[in-house]
Structure 1
């Protein structure tokens, strides 16, 4: 396969890129451009409509979460943004169709509410569901967040309560049943099978990896070995879809890009 020379950065403000993004059909969002010159996108109506992003520190996972979530918001979706560091997704604060939660108690309550919303949506007719906005669940730093939720539940779990945190149970239910309810998860991390109950490649139709170890690649993408060599370019990683690996330059969309775009998308100055 002939590789295409890609820019070291693929900015949302690059010529024609915003127009390309806005021309995508509803339910589709652009991750970036591959070294084969292909547009690599997420299709939420695919069989496994969730996205797993895993990078080393500084590898761009937060940027991918922000870019994908923003694109679906632009198409009319709503979003639950779980930001345990409280500073990674400041763009999400104040937007009317976004619920932003940072501390563990807030994340716990939001996920319990997600479980209730999932149940409600699964009881809707097809016509009612089609009229219901998609719901994007964007979770940063999932590994530590899931551990914190487990410990948090233990602090007040009653004798008659289930051992598993209801917040974690709700997230797992969204991963298994989300497609039928127009609920989609974008997760940053390497979820443990003893928490979410399945191997990552069974739960996520799109996996984005950058600068991970060979062991992590084997765990998250066992059907596409061996692990490739990594590029030093910021935002460059590999997207795994349908058993195929695409070296991809991801879109860089800043907090300001997102807020301006979603606050007044028709303003040419934005």
Structure 2
């Protein structure tokens, strides 16, 4: 783990050259931020298909989800945004390639439908050998731990005799975590992925973990192979990105709601 850093103090989407750098990335890659000595810290979802973001209060988890999702949308991906606060991702609600769900019933139905889409894509691979004509799908799950608990209680209210005890929506999410890579479906999960009914094997599918302002206990649960927990930083946008058993101290990109909406509206209009 890096202990001494030369990180930028802040990293805005509007900084000179940064937008051009983002637009030049391959379609499977998003830039998380800049690490020590100017190193670009990125995630390639073809290799590391799912991302977990966990931060303490004020750690910027929603901003990180926005920044990553906007990059993939710019590259031509579609997104399913599961947003129980209903206000965290309003920037995406008017975009034609985004499906936004806020209430528990809507999220339940969306996840059950996602399992159908997963199977459809796998069948296409069996028939055609690839998904070249099918857009990548990002499942953006904000406040995920709380939402999973709500989904479990929701299922209990109308589960019929003989039906599985476990919410089919949670089962569908687990299926996507296990099989989404081959189907080009990727989960961006905001939470600890503890409790809520996810199996340990499903929780292990997050190859990239982004942590900020978390306790030593949370660090050890989510990044045990990356060494002891570093001292939390109060600096806005300062995170640790855990990949390949290494924690990279990183200054994450700050992308506002308005900047994301304007960028992607211009993309959709063919102005970029």
TM-score (norm 2): 0.94
Is there any run of 5+ residues in structure 2 with no aligned partner, and where? none
Q: What does residue range 186-201 of structure 1 map to in structure 2 within 5 Å?
A: 186-192=188-194, 195-198=197-200
Q: State whether residues 193 and 203 of structure 2, in contact with CA within 8 Å, keep that contact through their aligned partners in structure 1.
A: no
For residue 206 of structure 2, the aligned residue among 179, 188, 204 is 204
2:29 paired residue number: 28
2:64 paired residue number: 64
| C-alpha spacing 1:128/1:231, structure 2 compared with 1 (3 Å) | same
Task: Report the number of matched residues.
Answer: 267
Q: State whether residues 200 and 220 of structure 1, in contact with CA within 8 Å, keep that contact through their aligned partners in structure 2.
A: no
Q: State whether residues 148 and 196 of structure 2, in contact with CA within 8 Å, keep that contact through their aligned partners in structure 1.
A: no
Which SS does the other structure have where 1:261 is aligned?
helix
- Structure 1 residue 123 and structure 2 residue 123: aligned? yes
* Aligned-residue RMSD, C-alpha: 1.6
Q: What does residue range 136-151 of structure 1 map to in structure 2 within 5 Å?
A: 136-151=138-153
1:229 paired residue number: 231
Following superposition, the deviation at residue 36 of structure 1 comes to: 3.4
1:12 paired residue number: 13
- Structure 1 residue 166 and structure 2 residue 168: aligned? yes
| C-alpha spacing 1:242/1:33, structure 2 compared with 1 (3 Å) | same
Q: State whether residues 145 and 196 of structure 2, in contact with CA within 8 Å, keep that contact through their aligned partners in structure 1.
A: no
1:267 and 1:232 mapped to 2: Cα distance? 38
Cα-to-partner distance string for 1:177-209 (whole Å, 9 max, x where unaligned): 000100000000011267221267621110000
2:249 and 2:3 mapped to 1: Cα distance? 12
Q: State whether residues 178 and 202 of structure 2, in contact with CA within 8 Å, keep that contact through their aligned partners in structure 1.
A: no
Which SS does the other structure have where 2:33 is aligned?
strand
Is there any run of 5+ residues in structure 1 with no aligned partner, and where? none
Following superposition, the deviation at residue 235 of structure 1 comes to: 0.8
TM-score (norm 1): 0.94
